[in-house]
Amino acid sequence: MRGGNRLPLSFTDFLDFFRFVKGRTNRAHILSSRKISRPTLSVRFAALLIHPLSAKDVWNILPPKTLSGTPWVYGADGKWLGRLDVFFIHRNVTTKENLFWSFMSSETYEAISKDVQILTRLLGKNLPSGAVSDWKGAIISAVSSHFGAIPHQRCLAHVLRQAKRLLPRNSPFWETQKLRKIVQDLFLVETVHDPSVWRMSCVRWEKQYGYMLKEKTVVPMGITKTWWYTHGNVRRAWRLLTHDQDPLFVFLTNPLVPKTNNALEGVNNNLKQKLGNHRGMNVVRQAAFLSWYMAFTRVKTEKDLNKLWAYWKRAFIKK
């Protein structure tokens, strides 16, 4: 028994909490319809936020459709809660199903690998046929370590977003604007022959404007000199586009693998909106709220909700 003192909760309270978390109602409407006080409602909701169901619990209660054996693609991304903590999501981007989630102090290999190791055991033989991510080193290593040498696409939306920040639209340098155009052309790649054309545009840019990558600014500092690359952001954007290009085009030879991680970007934006609607929670409460939101994405019928309630009640309400 994980519960302590008896918690005065009923399925009606749980149903209210479900509607509250999913954004189908607000506290004012619940207070009006249930005719209970705000402190009472806060105590009941707090009990659920103190004891959220884990991703593994939800998996056992409501197994994902991913277990059907149909080929699928794995996606992973984190939602930062403040400057240090991350709510990390593992998703089947093919069926748009949230598989696993956790609250970690940072996106380290150790933390992500621990998640993926548990996920691998839960999946059994139903491992993904491919992956897509923002290409953080920890995610790349975790996917390779636990899923093997599966096709892994670097999210083009992330590349485009990062490069645009480094190459502003209104830059006074024509060279920068030309490189920004090359970045945008990356999204026009649609056939297996297009990457060679795109790469050639990179080669032409380097021949014409490569001097920008080498320009240095030197400032005398007493008897020594300090220098830096004059166009540091251009250099960063160039490396973003030219270092290890093959992962940019995995989707061309693996039709199941998408070119972007937008399926997870949409989830993160939704989570951001949910937290924005319920400001004032500390980081731990935010993580608990998001854990419940993830759990409720598996609920398709009231019967599913009853299963979650029955499990939570057995675990946390002392008889």
Task: Find, among 118, 113, 71, the residue nearest to 99 by Cα.
Answer: 118
Of residues 2 and 62, more confidence is placed in: 62
The C-alpha atoms of residue 135 and residue 269 are separated, in whole angstroms, by: 19
Using pLDDT thresholds of 50, 70 and 90, give the confidence band for residue 275.
Answer: confident
Question: Is pLDDT of 174 > 80?
Answer: yes
Contacts of 236 (CB under 8 A, 6+ apart): 166
**Residue 27: burial class (beta carbons within 10 Å; 0-12, 13-18, 19+):** middle
Greatest CA separation found in the chain?
79
For 54-95, the DSSP string reads: PHHHHHHHS--GGGG----EEEEEEEEETTTEEEEEEEETTT
Question: Is pLDDT of 4 > 60?
Answer: no
Average pLDDT of span 228-254: 95
Average pLDDT of span 49-78: 93
Average pLDDT of span 43-48: 92
User: Which of 5-19, 149-163, 278-292 reaches the highest mean pLDDT?
Assistant: 149-163
Q: List, for residues 128-160, the tens digit of each pLDDT value.
A: 999 999 999 999 999 999 999 999 999 999 999
The answer to whether 271 and 282 have CB atoms below 8 angstroms apart is: no
What value does the mean pLDDT of the chain take? 91
Task: Find, among 159, 143, 140, the residue nearest to 198 by Cα.
Answer: 159
The pLDDT, as a whole number, for residue 207 is 97
The dihedrals phi and psi of 215, each to the nearest 5 degrees, come to -60, 135
> Rounded to the nearest 5 degrees, what angle is found at the Cα of 58, between the Cα atoms of 55 and 60?
110
The pLDDT, as a whole number, for residue 1 is 40
Torsion of CA 153, 154, 158, 163, to 10 degrees: -140
The C-alpha atoms of residue 101 and residue 88 are separated, in whole angstroms, by: 5
* Amino acid at residue number 231: H
Q: Two tokens at 190? A: 């649609």
**Residue 4: burial class (beta carbons within 10 Å; 0-12, 13-18, 19+):** exposed
Per residue, the 3-state secondary structure of 256-279, as one string, reads CCCCCCHHHHHHHHHHHHHHHHCC
Of residues 5 and 108, more confidence is placed in: 108
Q: List, for residues 18-45, the tens digit of each pLDDT value.
A: 999 998 888 888 888 888 888 888 899 9
The pLDDT, as a whole number, for residue 3 is 45
Contacts of 41 (CB under 8 A, 6+ apart): 16, 27, 30, 31, 34
CATH number of 63-151+254-294: 3.30.420.10
The pLDDT, as a whole number, for residue 264 is 81
The pLDDT, as a whole number, for residue 71 is 95
Using pLDDT thresholds of 50, 70 and 90, give the confidence band for residue 7.
Answer: low
Domain with CATH 3.30.420.10 in the chain: 63-151+254-294
Using pLDDT thresholds of 50, 70 and 90, give the confidence band for residue 8.
Answer: low
Q: List, for residues 67-123, the tens digit of each pLDDT value.
A: 888 999 999 999 899 777 999 999 999 999 999 999 999 899 999 999 999 999 999
